[in-house]
């Protein structure tokens, strides 16, 4: 049912359309036209105005023909840098960029698969449940866009977010909560040659604090990282200020709290031991989630995958996605793997067969949702 060449063409056209975070206008207009042609009612929310971007989240609804449970699919329109002027091409069994930019398969693959599945349904005039899509903005900037999306507009009981690396058929049902720690160490300036003993080095406080922390892979569920440490100053002055930024993530909220406490305590005790002080700000970036394998979205994703012959695996991820926001807002959401590889690098690529399988999966999900179901088998 899937027209592979049309799918690959749509995919490469999306990749070739500039769509950096907060600058998704061109792609949003293209996708709006596409959705309108498919019969969707499309609206754009005010996420752009609220977040300083030029585009809001697109929300589309295609009324069902023949009943069934409404479905919601979600992808993000933006991509990481370098993501302007992408020149996608087919090389052997893969679609790749020219090596100077990312490909943008993250998340063009999800969008193209949804559009192709819907086009195939429209061509054949098949019955389908109500289908909703939300294409978010600025996902790559810590999930900015989805935070402004009003879940009250959604009719579907759950959401399928197409936005994960890994072979098509994998279903992400668990993701960590993430906290960010910002710290400013305050010491005392002194001449580094004449009277260093009169100074309190903010850099040494930060260094001592870091050396007391357990970082990177903390335990199977928990990670932590120092992302930046900065102090500007000439070498002949004992530095009185040093800024540090760190993060911690865990699938277990209690373990996250423990890890954050250990990190902030290491900072406070290091500062106190050297006669300085530290100001610490802890921010919760997004909540985590854990869904059961028999939860509605996981079950539906698995049965649709099996029906089109995809090997099904449930997995947890170490990263955040719009599903974190939707789940925390009360909409059960799983993330479907899209088959792309090496995302966020200029070596990003996707196998042609994986992209086609993703469209097959979306098509199966929609047909399974229709009353009578299984119309593609």
Angle (CA) 119-124-129 rounded to 5° is 70
Q: What's phi and psi for 96, nearest 5 deg?
A: -130, 165
C-alpha–C-alpha distance, residues 371 and 130, integer Å: 11
Which CB atom, from 24 or from 163, has the smaller least distance to Zn ion? 163
Active site residue 197: no
Q: Residue 107 CB, nearest distance to Zn ion (Å)?
A: 4
Rg (C-alpha) for the chain, rounded Å, is: 24
CB-side exposure of 13: number of CA atoms within 13 Å? 17
Residue 334 CA to residue 324 CA, distance in Å, equals: 9
Tokens of 43: 């609206």
Pick the closer one to Zn ion by CB: 107 or 360. Answer: 107
Instruction: Kindly name the residue from 107, 116, 132, 139 that is annotated as catalytic.
Output: 139
Taking the complex as a whole, the smallest distance from the CB of residue 106 to Zn ion amounts, in Å, to 4
- Report the candidate in 145, 134, 79, 117 with the shortest Cα–Cα distance to residue 3: 117
Q: What are the start-end ranges of the H helices in the chain?
A: 4-15, 25-37, 47-51, 105-123, 202-211, 253-273, 296-307, 322-328, 352-369
Q: How far is the CB of 80 from Zn ion (least distance, A)?
A: 8
Residues linked to residue 279 through DSSP beta bridges, in sequence order: 184
Q: Which residues are 341's β-sheet partners?
A: 349
Q: What is the DSSP letter of 295?
A: S
Rounded CA gap, 303 and 113, in Å?
18
Query: Considering beta carbons, is residue 47 or 203 the nearer one to Zn ion?
Result: 47
Q: Which residues lie across from 160 on neighbouring strands?
A: 73, 334
Cα–Cα distance, 39 to 59 (Å, whole number): 13
Helix ranges (H only) for 164-292 are 202-211, 253-273
Q: Is 360 helix (H, G, I), strand (E, B) or coil?
A: helix
Task: Return the ∠ at Cα 158 (arms to 110 and 59), rounded to 5°.
Answer: 55
Number of H helices, E strands in the chain: 9, 20
Residue with tokens 């019955």: 127
CA dist., res. 268 & res. 205, Å (int):
9
Catalytic residue among 20, 24, 45, 78: 78
Is residue 29 annotated as part of the catalytic site, yes or no? Answer: no
CA distance 117 to 367: 10
Residues found near Zn ion in the complex (CB under 5 A): 106-107, 163
Question: Shortest distance, CB of residue 261 to Zn ion, whole angstroms?
Answer: 31
- 168 vs 278, which CB is nearer to Zn ion? 168
Write down the least CB distance from residue 116 to Zn ion, Å: 19
Active-site residue numbers? 78, 139
């Amino acid at each position: 049912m899937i027209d592979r060449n049309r799918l690959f063409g749509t995919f490469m056209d999306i990749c070739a359309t500039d769509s950096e975070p907060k600058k998704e206008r061109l792609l949003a207009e293209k996708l709006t036209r596409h959705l309108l042609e498919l019969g969707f009612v499309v609206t754009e929310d005010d996420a752009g105005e609220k977040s300083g971007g030029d585009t809001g989240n697109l929300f589309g609804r295609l009324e069902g023909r023949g009943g069934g449970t409404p479905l919601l699919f979600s992808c993000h329109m933006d991509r990481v840098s370098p993501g302007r002027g992408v020149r996608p091409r087919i090389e052997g069994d893969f679609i790749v960029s020219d090596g100077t930019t990312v490909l943008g398969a993250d998340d063009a693959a999800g969008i193209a698969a949804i559009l192709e599945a819907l086009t195939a349904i429209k061509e054949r005039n098949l019955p389908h449940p109500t289908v909703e899509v939300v294409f978010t903005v600025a996902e790559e900037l810590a999930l900015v866009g989805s935070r402004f999306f009003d879940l009250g507009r959604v009719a579907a009981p759950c959401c399928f977010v197409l936005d994960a690396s890994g072979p098509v058929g994998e279903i992400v049902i668990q993701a960590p909560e993430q906290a960010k720690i910002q710290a400013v160490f305050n010491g005392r300036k002194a001449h580094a040659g004449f009277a260093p003993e009169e100074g309190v080095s903010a850099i040494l406080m930060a260094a001592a604090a870091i050396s007391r922390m357990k970082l990177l892979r903390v335990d199977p569920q928990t990670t932590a990282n120092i992302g930046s440490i900065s102090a500007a100053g000439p070498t002949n002055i004992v530095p009185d200020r040093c800024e540090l930024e760190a993060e911690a993530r865990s699938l277990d909220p209690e373990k996250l709290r423990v890890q954050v406490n250990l990190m902030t305590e290491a900072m406070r005790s290091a500062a106190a031991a050297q006669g300085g002080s530290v100001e610490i700000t802890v921010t919760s970036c997004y909540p985590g989630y854990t869904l059961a394998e028999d939860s509605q979205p996981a079950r539906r994703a698995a049965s649709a995958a099996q029906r089109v012959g995809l090997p099904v695996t449930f997995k947890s991820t170490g990263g955040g996605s719009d599903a974190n926001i939707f789940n925390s807002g009360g909409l059960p959401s799983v993330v479907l793997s899209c088959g792309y590889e090496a995302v966020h690098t200029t070596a990003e690529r996707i196998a042609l067969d994986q992209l086609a399988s993703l469209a097959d999966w979306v098509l199966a999900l929609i047909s399974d949702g229709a009353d009578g179901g299984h119309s593609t088998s």
